[in-house]
Amino acid sequence: MPKEWATSGLDLFLQLVPASRRRQRAGIEEGLREAIRSGRLPRGSLLPPTRALAHDLGVSRGTVLEVYSQLAAEGWIVGRQGSSTVVAFNAEPLGATTSIRFSPPARMRFDLRPGRPDASSFPRMDWLRALRRAFASAPNEAFGYGSPQGLLVLRSELAGYLGRARGLSCGSDDLLVTAGFTQGLGLVARSLGDGRKTIVMEEPSMPLHRSIARAAGHQITSIPVDADGLRVDELEALSDVAMVVLTPHRQHPSGAILSAARRSRLLAWARDKQAIILEDDYDGEFRYDRRPIGSLQALDPNVVVYAGTASKTLAPGVRLGWLVLPRNVRDAVIHQKELADWHTGALEQLAFAEMLRTAAYDRHIRKMRVLYRRRRDSIIDALRQGITGVQVAGIDAGLNLLIPVADQQVERAAVVAAHTAGIGLDGLTTGGYYEGSGVAGILIGYGAAPQHSFRAAVEVLVAALRPVLDDASRSAARQ
């Protein structure tokens, strides 16, 4: 007969089978595993102190200590000496965890998740002004069903902006307005035609993007990234690749820039194999210590689909992006857009076109570049001052930085410590950025937190990470 157990202070219900002492320990272990596995004990929840649980279960404290230490070794729970034990944010047995994603903390006090802009800085007044002006002059037809490609007024403004600010070579006919990169990727993947094709993606890369390409019916091959970006030599060794998706301006999430030599090799490979390159320029507007990197599309508009988005420059909720399409794929991708949603909403398109026309978009980007640069400088200073010997990477551009750490164990401990302190951030291996085993690291975004809470967010972050990273460097020094 299963028996119900409860603790004072922290109640914990466990299904246990009474048995001998050894079996008793195994029973408690299995009861806890079951509670975590079933989600009854959610990730991040506090477990009772060993003394209290031993008292309530009527076993020795030693037995509970053994149980906790076994479950910690298996990756179900995380405990630190002198503080509480919690259910691990990635509560799965060790070894089976590399592609399982951590969820953000249940109550997020500070949002330091990567890849998000400051929503509180959204240019509301500019957007309103643009909408008002655009509405006053838009013809009635703008509010009817339109071209799947998007409104001509927006495509013309975008072509001008992309040529001027991003060095692209395109006209309004080459452009397709999308609901962000997420949709653009799906459209291009589906346009590859019937039959399972091979799409190459960077490793590490966003798990959602791999899922989108798979959902289009294709097979994904992941190729690693090093300090010079995608390993093009590994790509050359593959056969029958239909498309490669990459972030050459600033590899997401590692921060590497695709070197000039690899750019030429990649383009030569695509021409030779008649493959498509999908260039994801997701945050190229934000660079701080270097000139902008030229786009692959400008080097060869016949093999490169260029993808841009307003998700970092304005806000992800706007759901606006664009593709610059080579002639040979244009009709097929536009057809996929028509199948998906006919076309992107006219109101957003009109307002965005007006923002571009009046250069309000440029002004907003320039303002945000200064703000993000200050934030980047202050978070780096705080990390370096607060945590001895901390390494930070990927800092010359974008909205994230990366702290490489020794192994997955340290990464998990750091992510759990941050989540426990109410901070949202990602781990490289725990965040699902790798399909196979990967290099551990902590991915921190400095875009999303509103300006008024940014300092506090950084202070809490440093306080949460310090003990974990100090521990890790002490144990590295001992080895």
Ligand X SMILES: Cc1ncc(COP(=O)(O)O)c(C=O)c1O
CA dihedral 178, 180, 183, 188 (to 10 degrees): 70
Give Dmax over CA atoms of the chain in angstroms.
Answer: 82
Please state the closest distance from residue 424 (CB atom) to ligand X, in A: 14
Tokens of 447: 């875009």
Q: Which stretch binds ligand X (CB under 6 A): 174-182, 237-245, 449-457, 466-474?
A: 174-182
Cβ distance to ligand X smaller for residue 79 or 248: 248
Please state the closest distance from residue 195 (CB atom) to ligand X, in A: 26
Asked if 386 and 466 count as a contact pair (C-beta separation under 8 A), the reply is yes
Give the residue closest to ligand X by C-beta: 180
Compute the distance between CA of residue 278 and CA of residue 280 in angstroms, rounded to an integer. Answer: 6
Please state the closest distance from residue 167 (CB atom) to ligand X, in A: 19
Three-state DSSP state, 411:
helix
| Residue among 89, 102, 161, 181 that touches ligand X (CB under 6 A) | 181
Please state the closest distance from residue 298 (CB atom) to ligand X, in A: 19
Q: Which stretch binds ligand X (CB under 6 A): 53-61, 308-316, 336-344, 450-458?
A: 308-316
Compute the distance between CA of residue 410 and CA of residue 5 in angstroms, rounded to an integer. Answer: 33
Cβ distance to ligand X smaller for residue 53 or 278: 278
Work out the number of other CB atoms within 10 angstroms of the CB of residue 261: 10
| Residue among 56, 126, 174, 280 that touches ligand X (CB under 6 A) | 280
Q: Per-residue x/- marks for ligand X, 88-117, CB under 6 A?
A: ---------------------------x--
Cβ distance to ligand X smaller for residue 63 or 205: 205
**Beta-carbon contacts of residue 287 (< 8 Å; ≥ 6 apart):** 250, 293, 369, 396, 397, 398
Cα dihedral across residues 88, 89, 95, 96: positive or negative = positive
The count of chain residues that interact with ligand X, using the rule CB under 6 A, is: 13
**Beta-carbon contacts of residue 458 (< 8 Å; ≥ 6 apart):** 378, 379, 382
**314 near ligand X (CB under 6 A):** no
Q: How far is CA 347 from the centre of its chain?
A: 28
Cβ distance to ligand X smaller for residue 85 or 251: 251
Cβ distance to ligand X smaller for residue 294 or 316: 316
Neighbour-count burial of 222, counting CB atoms closer than 10 A to its CB (0-12 exposed, 13-18 middle, 19+ buried): middle
Cβ distance to ligand X smaller for residue 179 or 410: 179
Tokens of 451: 């300006």
**431 near ligand X (CB under 6 A):** no
**56 near ligand X (CB under 6 A):** no
Question: How many H-runs (helices) and E-runs (strands) does the chain carry?
Answer: 15, 15
Cβ distance to ligand X smaller for residue 150 or 321: 321
Q: Which stretch binds ligand X (CB under 6 A): 64-72, 150-158, 175-183, 297-305?
A: 175-183
Compute the distance between CA of residue 221 and CA of residue 37 in angstroms, rounded to an integer. Answer: 31
Q: Per-residue x/- marks for ligand X, 232-271, CB under 6 A?
A: ---------------x----x-------------------
Cβ distance to ligand X smaller for residue 75 or 180: 180
| Residue among 321, 398, 424, 438 that touches ligand X (CB under 6 A) | 321
Pick the closest to residue 155 from 385, 356, 314, 454 (CA basis). 356
**206 near ligand X (CB under 6 A):** yes
| Residue among 68, 89, 110, 282 that touches ligand X (CB under 6 A) | 282
**345 near ligand X (CB under 6 A):** no
User: Which single residue is written with the structure tokens 């080459």?
Assistant: 174
Report the relative pairing of strands 304-309 and 276-280 from DSSP bridges. parallel
Please state the closest distance from residue 64 (CB atom) to ligand X, in A: 42
Q: Which stretch binds ligand X (CB under 6 A): 9-17, 179-187, 324-332, 370-378?
A: 179-187
| Residue among 90, 311, 313, 344 that touches ligand X (CB under 6 A) | 311
Cβ distance to ligand X smaller for residue 282 or 454: 282
**180 near ligand X (CB under 6 A):** yes
Pick the closest to residue 155 from 450, 422, 384, 357 (CA basis). 357
Please state the closest distance from residue 373 (CB atom) to ligand X, in A: 19
Compute the distance between CA of residue 428 and CA of residue 412 in angstroms, rounded to an integer. Answer: 10
Pick the closest to residue 38 from 91, 84, 1 (CA basis). 91
Cα dihedral across residues 263, 267, 268, 270: positive or negative = positive
**316 near ligand X (CB under 6 A):** yes
**203 near ligand X (CB under 6 A):** no
**344 near ligand X (CB under 6 A):** no
Which residues contribute to the site for ligand X (CB under 6 A)? 115, 180-182, 206, 247, 252, 280, 282, 309, 311, 316, 321
